[in-house]
Amino acid sequence: MPGDPSVRDRHLRGLDALETVASGGAGRPGTRRAAARVWAATWPKLAAVVLVVVAWQVVVWSGWRPVYVLPGPDQVLPRLFTELSSGEFWGALGVTMRRALSGFALALVVGVSVGLAVSRFAPLRVAIGSLITGLQTMPSIVWFPIAMLLYGISESAIMFVIVLGAAPSIAGGLTSGIDYVSPQLLRAGRAMGLRGVQRYTLLIVPAALPMFVTGLKQGWAFAWRSLMAGELLVVIDQQHSLGWALSQARQFNDAEGLLAYVIVVLCVGVLIDVFFERADRTIRHRWGVTAS
């Protein structure tokens, strides 16, 4: 009977068991789902790495180039691990990353300032809009003679080229994002009384964020390439960096060391790309343009 205490106790025990499954037991399926997502995102990259290593080894076995010119992964990977265990490598990586982050920060300030100005003033867009696009297509190596003429062999020359390489992409991404802000959002902002700086900080820039992140990703790619070119060309007081290590390996015909540092440069680029991919996915999910 419904009023029977024993029946009521059984119902309560059933609810307790259900709550236990929902709270404590659900942790394992959730953990499994998270692990499955990580594995789904990881295994294609691991498979690609394995395929590249196998193809590399097959090319070495083919005898296309002598082993002292093109060593195989069985020689390069141990050399890479040896370099990773040395303090000199981490010092060189630290110098390179400091330059990369400093240059990218400067490019971010310049790019955002130019992007906001171009999107705000129509005559300015007509005047320099095409110039920004043209600067994006300029190879960074072209700027180094001018940079060294202006700043000599110095950190400033490298920063100059990084900013010129990255800022146009950042400005272009921000401008494109602002162009695609929904007119309904702009009207809603006006109705809410958003004016001046508040209109940009609270409405326009957040709405433009997805395309802006794409511009940041492209800007980082240009900054990283510009930095590597700069470190190969501009050696400042024999200061150790990844570019300096690549240059030294080339001068001494150290093919194993050269390829080991090429792998390091590639891995840094991949890690930064993964960071931007994660940021882009998070923003798209928040904007409701991707499945949960």
pLDDT tens, position by position, 125-161: 888 878 888 888 888 888 888 988 888 888 888 899 9
Would the CA dihedral through 267, 143, 124, 111 be positive or negative? positive
Amino acid at 36: A
pLDDT at 142: 86
Q: Which residue has the tokens 């900054």?
A: 223
pLDDT at 22: 45
Q: HSE (CB half, 13 Å, CA atoms) of 74? A: 7
Residue 238, by phi and psi: left (phi above 0), alpha (psi -120 to 50) or beta?
left
Name the DSSP letter for residue 138. S
- State the Cα torsion 134-137-141-147 to the nearest 10°: 30
Helices 242-251 + 87-120 axis angle, to 10 = 120
pLDDT at 18: 43
Amino acid at 222: F
Q: Taking CA 210 as the corner, what is the angle to CA 207 and CA 211, rounded to the nearest 5 degrees?
A: 100
- Calpha distance 16→25 (Å, rounded): 12
C-alpha distance from residue 20 to each of 28, 32, 149, 211 (Å): 12, 18, 71, 44
**Sequence-ordered list of residues with C-beta below 8 angstroms from that of 68, at least 6 positions apart, any chain:** 253, 255
- Going residue by residue through the chain, which has 292 residues, state the pLDDT in tens, using 9 for 90 and above: 455 555 555 554 554 544 444 444 444 666 777 777 777 777 787 888 889 999 999 999 998 889 888 999 999 999 999 988 988 899 999 999 999 999 999 999 999 999 888 888 888 888 887 888 888 888 888 888 898 888 888 888 889 999 998 999 999 888 888 888 877 877 887 888 777 777 777 787 778 887 888 889 889 999 998 898 888 887 776 678 898 889 888 888 899 999 999 999 999 988 888 888 888 778 777 766 555 4
Q: Is 152 exposed, middle or buried (0-12, 13-18, 19+ CB in 10 A)?
A: exposed
pTM of the model: 0.78
